[in-house]
Structure 1
């Protein structure tokens, strides 16, 4: 017969968290509650008052000479010696207001449609952000998560408001994909190349291929925006005005620093073509006065020097964002391991004369994927090569090691 384990805590909030599903709690609390629930599975939790809790002596502090005569510390609370224990420990009532819980709103289809119509009534992104920012501030004040503040929105509140708006929009357009990522299932083919993931705030971001690039987090993992979305169009329109009615390519490069828009160029083109200022073409190209040749040459030289300094930085920043999508390697494949038999690819030789080799050592990267390995040929030559220079033989010996 397995012994019973009874655990006690003098924190009613902690006990309430432990009796709550982790997915209903915020990320920080949820991770810790899940770990405790897994480690104490099958154990029983009870509430103990602070004056009956032996651990309270250490947490509050006690002098050594007083601890020597502290019966609670040495013998524990008296209820442990009662014959009715643990049946007499049902003394805990779940609180009605549990902190650090997520708010889940159950709405029907008609209510969802009404919310979408409210969002579509805004023609300005800044106005929508500020209206929702004040709404979220009011909610946080009611939940006692923030102090009363009648001033302007802070930068943090503006940023949080924008992210909450995008999160809602993603739930409308990528509901199945987000649910699939949460359950570890495969997602739609048009997003699979991005290797998406859901961050701690619930936003779907690009996993991409730039995890080790020297870039900020929001550039390595831009937020995914849906096509044909009013929120996406408001973001594009706001960026268009910020860049002084720039063209499509410049708009795309600028937005790609923070967002990945599905069918981005087409969505940008749809918004830009509605702009009357951008649509008006110039009949002539303005030219500077070049009557003073030496001054003109000096200006030209300065302009070329400045372009030379900025070209590499601008080009690399705009080009890197185009490497997020994965044209291949969309499905995980097993690693090559030590002892497998492979064929070494030779660039200047036909495949029929490529030599065989045995893998003697592998060098996995930070993600656990093997990208380099050491092989030995039948002639005893040991060489190090990359994963792209070998072909795994489809033989039973190799299959058994996968």
Structure 2
């Protein structure tokens, strides 16, 4: 008769709670049908493939949290536990709505249009609810929540953080982790927002993680940069600018591999701040502090993929020419059957002791583009 599918909330929820919300939606849909249909329904049967939800409805003890308890109460207010049955996931037509299907499959799918095949059989052949281990769930419900802190190596979570965030957010996330690490080691609590020194330390930790790929790559030609190590163990560009009055980060940039996500995120961060400028400007901007191997190739790739840059540098649309008229495309006609006429000049021609104007009249065949020119003495009709 009807079906309804809703999206999961953005804040996230557990699978049992989402299943419980779906069951509540089924009850509301049944109430709507009973109010709107012009016939009396003898009985309503409900099906779900969640054994946890079935156990929620069959349980009689009060040990649920507020979220679960409120929804179980609403469901049992309109139904009874005996009205609920188990359907295997493979035979549940609800998945067609939640997982999606093409229009052709929707028309030809008998399970969606007619329901599961076991509904047309005797009730003794209907699926039976599998055994559910309630003891384990009861034990889990009675366990008091506790705080468990796992101290892990910095390198273990660094790769996961890099794949989730932008460059600025990576530094903030790593800085918070490093602060937590210091708190657990020193057993002291540091309050307040992050400071510049913490962000700088987090940046060095991220670049130190990227340095591993640089050293593992045997094809990287580090020798051409005459590298040297900084006080914190990072690789810097060498050169002859040691006595220059520029900043140290400009004279000796940090070396980064082009294939690492850190390099990509850095260029992604510099690119919009430079006003979506060209490749050379962005490359020069990044080299104030970082030297990325094959940096020009990386910058070109990011600029090419940028939607804003494509819009700014895209070619404007040009007007499409209309179709040629019939007179231009009619074949097998003698020349000058269909012509175009135009005047040009005038030319000054000497006549006796005076000069007079003469005009050129050009006739153009519209089919073969042949040209014939005549002299027109004046611009009036008789002369034409």
Structure number with higher relative contact order (C-alpha < 8 Å, ≥ 6 residues apart)? 1
| TM-score bucket (shorter structure) | 0.3 to 0.5
Higher Rg: 2
Q: TM-score of the superposition, structure 1-length normalised?
A: 0.38
